[in-house]
Structure 1
Amino acid sequence: MSERQRTGVFNRLLRTCALLLWTSAVAAAQSWDLNILPLDQIKPGMQGVGKTVFTGEGAEEFGVQVLDIIRNFYPQTDLILVRLTGDRVEQTGVVSGMSGSPVYLDGKLIGAVAVRFGEFAKEPIAGVMPIGYMLEVADTERTRPQAVRSAFSGEYGFMRNVLVGADANFWPTLAQTWSGRAMNQQSRIESPLVFSGFTDAVLAQAAPLMRTLGFQLVSGGGATAANFQAHGKLEPGSSVSQVFISGDLSIDVTGTVTAVDRNRILAFGHHIFNLGPTRLPMASSRVLTTLSSLMGSNKMASSQDIIGSMRQDRLAGVYGELGTAPAQVPVVVQTHSAAQGRRAFSLYLADDPALNNLMPLFLRIAVFQCLVVAQLAAAPCSVQLEGAVDLADGSRITVEDFFSAEQSLGFMAAGSEFGDASDLIASLLGALWVSDFASPAVSRITLSANIAEGERYARIHSVTPDRAEVNPGDSVAVAIELAHHDGRITTIRQSLAVPKTTTSSSLTVLVGGGRALTQYDVQTNPEKFRPKNYNELKELLKGRRRNDRLYVQWRVPAPGLIVGGEELADLPPSVMGIMNHRRVSEDRPLRDRLLEERVLPQDREIAGFKRVVFRIIPAGGDPSRRETGIEAAGEW
């Protein structure tokens, strides 16, 4: 077969596939009570109109001229190339927020504006997603599968954040992971991600993460979840929002309605995250104004009442249902400071398994903003935090901590007092939502923060033993020096009686802040912090160490193994031989066992970690074998 013949066969196959698609599309359109124009009847030069909201709530018409059909723009998906005409679009070009704007030829619906080509474009050239593909999105709702949880592939992920704090790369890495879910993200129209109630400083810090996710961040007004309207209405061309957070602060993405039939709607003309089945809040929206820019115009929108749920998020668009109440988690954040007094924020967080590892990022940004409001200018401060997550089974997971660190990593970065406090509550939610365990649903989150001016922070400066060697039964002591942020040095003394029956050759004292000591534990026994079921997960979360505590551990050598996170100490040599023979990669040798851990409450954040070792001389031992016995571990 010649090349020409093969090309002819290929083209006939394409036409056949297109015919089959549009045959099913016409049938779907009839079930939707839509009058559509099949793709194979659309020709270059045809002219029509589109509808979108430029200001207010009423849709306006703009002109459309078909330029051509782009075959296979997406995998097995064609795109209609058009030029937009009219005074409005000549000034604004293709606008962010126009995604989903319906396009009609001869009064028949052909699809939705979905793609913008390039920046600084001199002509408003757009791509239209054919309506047939969008109707297929709606058709998937009839055989709706169970929503799939999204898991973040970090080593410890949210659990590690709860225990030792998030590093500066955690949230950017998470956002980058999500950016890979967006197919052909650079060609679709960037949808405005509207932040309402946020300060410029917080928006500036959040913007890079949102750009990574494929959104253009803008300021606007917000939806209130309490105003759910079961009988809300939308029309083709209306502005519509998919809501992530609503209430006193809100985060939502704005697009345009393509088609409406009874309580069903199609919108956007492209995916948001390509998640498949969803259950996200859907709100009506009002466009405050359309901002013109050579780099890409966008709509400044204000979301209104929540009127339904977005049920499908697919390559060709989003499907929603009016009157279907979405799942949301109420969040209450209370703050108190001398500068701003008492304030309370009421938020509602979208509860969707498909977004279970991205919603903590949105929650972190919102909690951070609530805390910043209580701060006086940019003065250093300290945060006393109490948080609780209520679960559907009636149980509660609580966390308490204190944060007062220098903001050396940036205004909103992990390592600042507000960043650390926000990380804790957001990661606590993430640890519950991302786990694969059959855990109860989260029913409510409450957070109380007392914010005081000035830093209260100390680092472990030194740990000095009263001697280098001891005998069984002796009482030993260490002097712990804390170096405060203002230059003061304070000393804390701790003592312990060495067991008379000990046969150990040494006694190790570990002194650390909550994070540093937990990090040491994670390094020596990582499997201990990988829960195997929901109960283990809950106990790990409840048992986290605090920053405003000084921890002192006394340990003695105890040869053994760590198997599945469980410490097996003082094993007989015969058992050790058997266990070593069958060791798997997760098993680790055990160096010592814990005699006692003391928790000393402090009025400030404690950082750092040090270790000292006493040599134990058994009765009748050689006194000439003297060693200093002092070690200093690296600090964290």
Structure 2
Amino acid sequence: MSAIFKSLRALSAVRRFGQRLMDGVPAHRVVPLSLLAGAVCSVAVGARVAEAVPDPSDVMPLSEVKPGMKGYGLSVFSGTTPEKFDVEVISTLRNFRPRQDLVLVKTPNHPRLTAARTVAGMSGSPIYLNGKMIGAYAYGWLFGVEPIVGVTPIRAMLDELARPVPKALMPGGGAPLPVGKRTADAGRGVGEGRGVGEGRGGSEADEARRERLARRFVGPSEAYDLGAHAAAVAARVGSAIAPPENMGLARASTPIMLGGFGGTALKMAHDLLGPLGLEPLQAGGGSSTTPEPDAPTKFVDGGAIGVEMVRGDVSAMGIGTVTRVSGDRLLAFGHPMLNGGITSLPTAVAKVHWILASQNRSFKIGEAARSLGTLVNDRQAAIVVDTTRKAPVFPLALQIEGMAGAPHPAWNMEIAHDQFMAPAFVAMAIGNALEATAAERQDLTWRAVSRLKIGRYGTISLADFGAGNGTPLSSDDFSRSRLVRAVGSLLNNPWEEVSVERIDTQVKITFGREVSQLRGAKVLQPELDVGQKAQIRLDLQPYQGAVESRVIEVPIPAELAGRDVEIELEPGYDVERPLATPASLAELVAVLPNQYYDAESVVATVRLRENGAAFRGQVASRLPPGAFDTLRPASESNAPETFGAEAHTVIPMKRFVVGKDTVTVKVRPVLR
């Protein structure tokens, strides 16, 4: 408690001092009072707050940069050791980005840059004049015929280095920290809980939360859709990554090195990541978790750096260049990766194999050499990496059965614990492994069972399935899977931070299409007495062979006496169970494995005369008249959800059925 009282006294002193500042100091010298107060409070509760960073002695102010000045840059052209390349200043573009200038330089005399011109992956390469750093290689012209690039001034990058990163939003040890209980605004993604390390004012933490919420899937938590999420993220980051209008000038871009990916997974990566300003490239992927003995143990100015989305038997890494190492943190890229603000993605010391020249945009080919640090801040002028932090990741283990003699039935990966990247790479990684191991051009059926372990909430089991007519399994098959939707739902829930601890997926493959088409349905007795079950003959067409018939029985509720009753027949995987909309993470966890009926079943649905209601996690499938008014709270507007009551009869089929049909029976009235 004494520390808190001291902090409060210090805050009061800061306010008095701030007022004296405002009374007589020129405006450009005034430090905003809110920043001073936030700094004191944050220190009191443990947040890491960077002090204002003056221009170091080895940095040249932009005002001293003149056309014609010559110097050099540092970047890795092969291996892990930076090399020098010549630069010459052309001019300075004022206000290229909001409150950010851009220095134009040419890179003459270097044989590789003369051929390659602007190089994706060189983003962040530090540029020096008279031995002093002026900024980072960061922008270039598409289809440019001269080796001319744009340099982000180092002052703008140092400002990002000075920006505080609240510990509450940057968990250590690989597990996200709970945010707190849900408030009335939680449905819009705003929580009230304060984590350890936030200041009482919470301005930096609140801003960081808003940035993280901007990357969240917008929609019902239980209805996550990867494609819609990708489109929304692309729309949000578009203004930050797009070149100024009519200039053709763009970021030197971030190539994403994909290792162990096949054709379909590469296309999916291009479709999902391309609109975000990332360039997926088939390259290779070293094992950064088991580095080579000679792999560097630290970052250096001009060294190659990777941002790892997935690593292991498949890998995906964005590659760029370190601009400046400052203690246990560093600046890189000279532009945003996704302009995501506060984030937490694993980083690695990278190794460069070659610079591949291209008429459009040349790029570095490289791979991770040693995992080290975490990308903690993704901003307009730079990314900031903290080498003392360990980014949260979760292991994914895949076991494929039924492929006798397959050389690689087991796959192991680690995936970044990110709202968008995690579900995207779960889909790509599993689909890619299946495509590689089960690349059979013949009919097959697959059944997948995934055990998803969730921190503090236990393990849930999710079933997925599919069948192919000679087309190999691929990432597309998993992009809409229950597993991917569950991961996306959990990581984008509006109530609290969640930790996906691990995923274990077992896929069983059988040869032959275990699928039947519902060709038709016929009621065997068009009229029924009350209490009599409807007998319906289903005509099922297997993929190969003659039509098979099966008679099923469907109970008809007694209150439908005297009516014509429609019975809808649909595959179980298309019929949603009557469940309440989740109002907490615990309810979401309970809903995810039970949203639909058994995939290998047919569900017969009879619509009832009553209504049903869901309220506070409970479902009443049939309510008598007037019950809804009784359930409605008199003191609040949070009313039950109502729906038309239905009776569902589940008929196990031991195969997958496609198609649907409707039949009608007449129930005789009760004679009195």
1:347 — aligned with what? 413
2:546 — aligned with what? 488
CA spacing shift, 1:243–1:129, aligned 2, 3 Å: same
Indicate the larger mover: 222-231 or 493-502.
222-231
Matches of 2:525 and 2:570, distance apart in 1: 20
2:284 — aligned with what? 221
Offset, 1:170: 4.3
Question: The residue matched to 1:100 in structure 2 has which SS?
Answer: coil
Offset, 1:402: 2.4
Structure 1: runs of 5+ lacking an equivalent:
1-15, 622-636
CA spacing shift, 1:505–1:587, aligned 2, 3 Å: farther
Give yes or no for the alignment of 1:442 onto 2:500.
yes
Letter in 1 for 2:489: A
2:649 — aligned with what? 597
2:398 — aligned with what? 333
Give yes or no for the alignment of 1:242 onto 2:293.
no
Structure 2: runs of 5+ lacking an equivalent:
1-26, 32-49, 168-203, 244-248
Correspondences of 1:146-545 after superposition (within 5 Å): 146=205, 147-148=208-209, 149-150=212-213, 152-153=216-217, 155-156=219-220, 159=223, 170=228, 173=231, 176-177=234-235, 179-180=237-238, 182-184=240-242, 187-224=250-287, 226-227=289-290, 232-336=297-401, 337-338=403-404, 340=406, 343-351=409-417, 355-393=418-456, 395-405=458-468, 414=476, 418-419=477-478, 423-438=481-496, 440-496=498-554, 498=556, 503=561, 505-518=563-576, 528=579, 530-545=581-596
CA contact (8 A) 1:547 1:607 kept: no
Question: The residue matched to 2:525 in structure 1 has which SS?
Answer: coil
Indicate the larger mover: 494-503 or 33-42.
494-503
Give yes or no for the alignment of 1:37 onto 2:95.
no
Offset, 1:34: 5.7
Give yes or no for the alignment of 1:28 onto 2:53.
yes
Give yes or no for the alignment of 1:69 onto 2:92.
yes
CA spacing shift, 1:428–1:572, aligned 2, 3 Å: closer
TM-score by length of 2: 0.77
Give yes or no for the alignment of 1:114 onto 2:138.
yes
- Give the RMSD, CA atoms, in angstroms: 3.5
Letter in 1 for 2:516: A
Letter in 2 for 1:338: A
CA contact (8 A) 1:439 1:534 kept: no
Post-superposition Cα deviations, 1:566-621, rounded to whole Å, max 9, x if no partner, equal 55635336977998x99999988744432x5224041x322222232322112339
Offset, 1:191: 1.1
Question: The residue matched to 1:569 in structure 2 has which SS?
Answer: strand
CA spacing shift, 1:67–1:529, aligned 2, 3 Å: farther
Give yes or no for the alignment of 1:569 onto 2:622.
yes
CA contact (8 A) 1:48 1:105 kept: yes
Matches of 1:577 and 1:128, distance apart in 2: 67
CA contact (8 A) 1:198 1:369 kept: yes
Offset, 1:143: 5.5
Post-superposition Cα deviations, 1:353-406, rounded to whole Å, max 9, x if no partner, equal xx4133211221111111111223443422110101112226101112321155
Letter in 1 for 2:101: D
Matches of 1:471 and 1:231, distance apart in 2: 82
Post-superposition Cα deviations, 1:409-458, rounded to whole Å, max 9, x if no partner, equal x98575xxx346x7332222111111112364111111111223332222
Post-superposition Cα deviations, 1:498-520, rounded to whole Å, max 9, x if no partner, equal 566765734443322123223xx
Matches of 1:36 and 1:217, distance apart in 2: 34
Offset, 1:187: 1.4
CA contact (8 A) 1:471 1:498 kept: no
CA contact (8 A) 1:48 1:65 kept: yes
Give yes or no for the alignment of 1:82 onto 2:133.
no
Matches of 2:235 and 2:109, distance apart in 1: 40
Question: The residue matched to 2:335 in structure 1 has which SS?
Answer: coil
CA contact (8 A) 1:560 1:590 kept: yes
CA spacing shift, 1:364–1:577, aligned 2, 3 Å: closer
Letter in 2 for 1:90: T
Letter in 1 for 2:624: L
1:101 — aligned with what? 125
Question: The residue matched to 1:404 in structure 2 has which SS?
Answer: strand
Offset, 1:26: 12
CA spacing shift, 1:453–1:476, aligned 2, 3 Å: closer
Offset, 1:224: 3.5
Question: The residue matched to 2:53 in structure 1 has which SS?
Answer: helix
Post-superposition Cα deviations, 1:342-361, rounded to whole Å, max 9, x if no partner, equal 6211111112xxx4133211
1:629 — aligned with what? none
1:133 — aligned with what? 156
Matches of 1:327 and 1:475, distance apart in 2: 55
CA contact (8 A) 1:516 1:609 kept: no
Matches of 2:446 and 2:582, distance apart in 1: 29
Offset, 1:301: 0.5
Matches of 1:411 and 1:495, distance apart in 2: 36
Offset, 1:84: 1.3
CA contact (8 A) 2:580 2:614 kept: no
Letter in 2 for 1:357: F
1:614 — aligned with what? 665
Offset, 1:232: 2.5
Offset, 1:48: 0.8
Letter in 1 for 2:501: S
Matches of 1:368 and 1:175, distance apart in 2: 22
Matches of 1:578 and 1:240, distance apart in 2: 58
Question: The residue matched to 2:420 in structure 1 has which SS?
Answer: coil
Letter in 2 for 1:291: L
Letter in 2 for 1:509: I
Question: The residue matched to 1:232 in structure 2 has which SS?
Answer: coil
Offset, 1:260: 1.1
Matches of 1:29 and 1:297, distance apart in 2: 35
CA spacing shift, 1:550–1:106, aligned 2, 3 Å: same
Matches of 2:636 and 2:59, distance apart in 1: 66
Matches of 2:641 and 2:51, distance apart in 1: 64
CA contact (8 A) 1:380 1:453 kept: yes
Matches of 1:508 and 1:456, distance apart in 2: 29
Indicate the larger mover: 533-542 or 98-107.
533-542
Post-superposition Cα deviations, 1:192-235, rounded to whole Å, max 9, x if no partner, equal 11101112453244323332121222233325464489992111
Matches of 2:470 and 2:273, distance apart in 1: 22
Question: The residue matched to 2:250 in structure 1 has which SS?
Answer: coil
Question: The residue matched to 2:583 in structure 1 has which SS?
Answer: coil
Offset, 1:19: 14
1:555 — aligned with what? 606
CA contact (8 A) 1:290 1:297 kept: yes
Indicate the larger mover: 337-346 or 63-72.
337-346
CA contact (8 A) 2:309 2:421 kept: no
